[in-house]
Structure 1
Amino acid sequence: MGTTERGLRAYIGSFTTAGGAGLTTAAVAPGTGALTALHTTDVLPNPSFLAPSPDGRHLYAVSETTDGTAAAFTLTPEGPAPLGPPVPVGGADPTHLTLTSRHLATAHYTSGSISALPVRADGTLGGPAAVLRHQGSGPRADRQEGPHAHAVRADPSGRWLLSVDLGTDSVRCCTLDPTSGTLAVHAEIRLRPGSGPRHLAFHPGGAFAYVINELVPTVTVCRWDAAAGTLTPLGETRLLPDAPGTPETFASALVLSRDGRFAWAANRGHDSISVLAIDPSDGHATLVGTVPCGGHWPRDLALHPDGRHIYAANERSGDVTWFTLDPHTGLPVRAGSLAAPAVSCVVFA
């Protein structure tokens, strides 16, 4: 069943080991973007990150556990229904996933690796066709003693898979063979030592990419060359104003507007959303300001498909807060919230 038949839905992932419901399905009100919870399912432990299929018929989730699995679901009016059993990803504590080249790519924080799982024609998953382990470390002994792959993202051309590693302060540009699932590193791009890159988002124009850094509250602006598969760091933008008494902050998530004029970043500790203005000529990001995230410890941000609302998944306060975006300034204005214990992710389908 597609979105037009059932209306837009939000799918909310949470940590079941911390009291979360697992997968929550919520109706999304037209116009306001308000969420109303419909049902929950806890068939998968710790579904911390989710990815809907492009046709909106299936949903995929990682299970962030030591054994590390991924699962496929069929989206029904009654909620996500398991589509086959969970399959191992070949790594510990998967934190992120993306669909590309007829595969589900997953990133595994603890084992510092990424994998590619075949997606069959019926939407079910096969076991990992390939597992690629990162190598290296960083200067922060408490967080960077080894590789910690935190996110995987396909580039807009679909030719490349980028793996963001917090432990090695680098982004690896990889190839993924659509037939065999083989993964290979094409290039490794080093970022500032100790920055702890966590996630990556592409500018809709395709020429720039933005890496949000967890260990310092900054975004690294990069030029992206899809023909060569190269990422060139251009500079960093701070996510918080310089002010005395600012709490220790761990940036977490980054999204860009559909027109590429703005970016929004989530800051755990400071418990805020940063608003960045993007210069389309050179990709430069300028901090416009920050607003409270509406809760505590914003782990994820999600943009409504209409581009007029943004949602913060506040893990420790256990709620999803939504905001209306000012089209001229990009500043979010709080509009409501939904209780969601131990929330970690929000996606729409």
Structure 2
Amino acid sequence: MGAEAVRAVRAVRAFIGSFTSAGGQGVLVADVDEATGALTVTGATDAVADPSYLALAGTVLYAVSETEDGAAAAFDVSGAVPRPLGAPVAVRGAGPTHLTVTSGHVLTANYGSGSVTALPVAADGSLGATTDVARHQGSGPVADRQSGPHAHQILAAPGGPWVTAVDLGTDSVRIYRLDAAAGTLRPHGETALGAGTGPRHLAFHPAGTHAYVLNELVPTVTVCRWDATEGTLEPLGETRVVPDGATAPSYPSAIVAAPDGRHLYAAVRGDDSIAVLALDASGENPTLVTTVPSGGHWPRDLTLAPTARHLYAANERSGDITWFALSPETGIPHPTGSIPAPAASCVLLG
């Protein structure tokens, strides 16, 4: 069996996004040893500038190009090196920081312009021209970060046609209904969160009943009840992701929920830690169990292996991906290895 065929049958690979403007290699592909969690880089492409966030759909990988003239791009990743599927497509928004694939569309969150964008996916996985741009309005009390809207994440919600857009600049989460036939994002509602919290990313409970909104401007996670029938978020309370009395600057960045619903993991830049929070049976009362070093400087992203036995952190400023074995009893991560990845911004497995 040839090398290409071997790669085609491997169960899991890792995909790493990085800032080419800061010395990154663009999009990297790595083989994954599922027993140990170890990564071995097999190829890379710098065909797209600053591919800071990635999403995978089968053998097609999608990336935002986090530039002033924001774009999204598609890659065929069935081989060792990602192959562009056409030219990058303008999202008609500045500084896209996140994207998701749902209902035949790629949706992007555009931080710089405070907007979200819909682009159709063609049969071969390539992207068509933007069909809709929804522009946010509003601001927050932190003058240097919240003078206007800053959409930071867009995510398809479980249990319905809803899409959530987390806006750091307006201290809110917007709910949209995606009209897949028309390629439009129809505003449905907006949930206000704590003033000055600066929500950045959210993760849903595996049961689809709650959402956990990680705040960047204060080191907390806001627990919300999610109603998939009505498409509404109800804030219930906040929990710190750094210990009381912590003095290091703390800028939380990414959050993931364990598939068994027992733990949340949050990356915290500055403090350079990973917070481990235990969830009770209701999912409404996270408790900070401990924090562990992220294995590098400025952890920008986290992801879990499909087996949920390993956790991966993308440490942007130290330029590496660190992986951790998760204790099956406590859920606490223990570092087991790392690879260099200059200006790493995102890591995902699939």
TM-score normalized with structure 1 length: 0.97
Tell me, yes or no, if structure 1 residue 29 matches structure 2 residue 64: no
1:107 partner SS? strand
Q: Deviation per CA, 1:282-326, whole angstroms, max 9, x where unpaired?
A: 421110010000000000001001100000000000000000001
Q: How many angstroms apart in 2 are the aligned matches of 1:235 and 1:4?
A: 45
Cα offset for 1:7? 4.0
Residues 113-152 of structure 1: pairs in structure 2 closer than 5 A: 113-152=115-154
The question of whether the paired residues in 2 share the 8 Å contact of 1:324 and 1:333 is answered with: yes
Matching residue of 1:166 = 168
Q: Deviation per CA, 1:227-263, whole angstroms, max 9, x where unpaired?
A: 000000000000011125x211100000010111000
Tell me, yes or no, if structure 1 residue 50 matches structure 2 residue 50: no
The question of whether the paired residues in 1 share the 8 Å contact of 2:7 and 2:79 is answered with: no
State which of 70, 77, 80 in structure 2 corresponds to 1:78: 80
Instruction: Report the count of equivalent residues.
Output: 346
Residues 276-287 of structure 1: pairs in structure 2 closer than 5 A: 276-287=277-288
Specify the code of the residue in structure 1 equivalent to 2:38: A
The question of whether the paired residues in 1 share the 8 Å contact of 2:19 and 2:25 is answered with: yes
Cα offset for 1:161? 0.4
Q: How many angstroms apart in 1 are the aligned matches of 2:93 and 2:43?
A: 30
Cα offset for 1:40? 1.3
Q: How many angstroms apart in 1 are the aligned matches of 2:176 and 2:11?
A: 36
Matching residue of 1:340 = 341
Matching residue of 1:9 = 13
Cα offset for 1:157? 1.9
Q: How many angstroms apart in 2 are the aligned matches of 1:284 and 1:186?
A: 27
Q: How many angstroms apart in 2 are the aligned matches of 1:151 and 1:12?
A: 18
- Structure 1 gaps of 5+ residues are none
Distance verdict in 2 for CA 1:80–1:4, change over 3 Å: closer
Provide the identity percentage.
Answer: 61
Cα offset for 1:122? 1.4
Cα offset for 1:130? 0.3
TM-score normalized with structure 2 length: 0.97
Q: How many angstroms apart in 2 are the aligned matches of 1:40 and 1:57?
A: 16
Q: How many angstroms apart in 1 are the aligned matches of 2:272 and 2:112?
A: 25
Range 32-41 or range 212-221, more displaced = 32-41
Residues 1-349 of structure 1: pairs in structure 2 closer than 5 A: 5-53=9-57, 56-243=58-245, 246-349=247-350
The question of whether the paired residues in 1 share the 8 Å contact of 2:261 and 2:283 is answered with: no
Specify the code of the residue in structure 2 equivalent to 1:42: D
Cα offset for 1:57? 1.2
Distance verdict in 2 for CA 1:340–1:270, change over 3 Å: same
Distance verdict in 2 for CA 1:323–1:35, change over 3 Å: same
1:231 partner SS? strand
Q: Deviation per CA, 1:156-189, whole angstroms, max 9, x where unpaired?
A: 1241000000000000010110111111210100
Cα offset for 1:140? 0.3
Specify the code of the residue in structure 2 equivalent to 1:202: F
The question of whether the paired residues in 1 share the 8 Å contact of 2:297 and 2:315 is answered with: yes
Q: Deviation per CA, 1:96-123, whole angstroms, max 9, x where unpaired?
A: 0001111100000010000100011111
Specify the code of the residue in structure 1 equivalent to 2:45: T
The question of whether the paired residues in 2 share the 8 Å contact of 1:2 and 1:57 is answered with: no
Specify the code of the residue in structure 2 equivalent to 1:45: A
Specify the code of the residue in structure 2 equivalent to 1:338: I
Specify the code of the residue in structure 2 equivalent to 1:145: S
- Structure 2 gaps of 5+ residues are none
2:21 partner SS? helix
